[in-house]
Amino acid sequence: MKTKYLLKNLTGAIALTSGIALIGIPTLAQSFYFFPSSYFYRSAFPYESEDNPNVAELLAANPELKTVSSLLKDANLAESLDEKEVTFFAPTDEAFQALPVATQEKLSNPDKLAQLLKYHIVEGKITDENIKTQKIATLLGSPVKIVGVPLQNKQVQIKLNQATASQPLPATNGVVIPIDSVLLPPNF
């Protein structure tokens, strides 16, 4: 009788543990998911050639990034983008329009404008290590939180602080990643 009771409890415990494992393991796996480096480092972009524009030219040519392109020229940073390989997190025109009026007024100060723009620029290209540590150093010196969020069909969405990134745009000297909100540096 005790053996029968013991086997019944053991079978129930195994079934319960198996059920928890089936539910819990995929959930745990998602919290440690790091997307493949192909998000940033494709073997080749379909339209990549030596005639690709540089970062500043790409920003100027994109109709959704006219504001940030203009602000880069105002801050005299457009030319410095040509000198090195960079990743530029480019807020869209809509993102700048969504800023509070007080923040928009601060952009008329050249020092504040340069500070804000440098907070969107990363020297070099983003690596998997940046995603794993969930921090990326900007030209301003303050880090930005970066996270890869898995979506359906093995796609990945990048989040920076509270901004969501779009698909990267290749340039001859780096990459432009459009984002849907302006990143405000600490103490801005």
DSSP, collapsed to helix, strand or coil, labels residue 120 as: coil
Q: What is the pLDDT of residue 127?
A: 66
Q: What is the pLDDT of residue 148?
A: 72
Start-to-end CA span in the chain (Å): 74
Q: What is the pLDDT of residue 115?
A: 92
Q: What is the pLDDT of residue 149?
A: 67
Q: What is the pLDDT of residue 91?
A: 92
Regions of the chain short of the pLDDT cut 50: 30-38, 41-48
Q: For the whole prediction, is pTM greater than 0.85?
A: no
18-41 in b/e form (b: 16+ CB < 10 A) is eeeeeeeeeeeeeeeeebeeebbe
Q: What is the pLDDT of residue 18?
A: 66
Strands in the chain per DSSP E: 86-91, 121-123, 135-137, 143-150, 156-160, 163-164, 169-171, 174-179
Taking residue 74's Cβ as centre, other Cβ atoms within 10 Å add up to 15
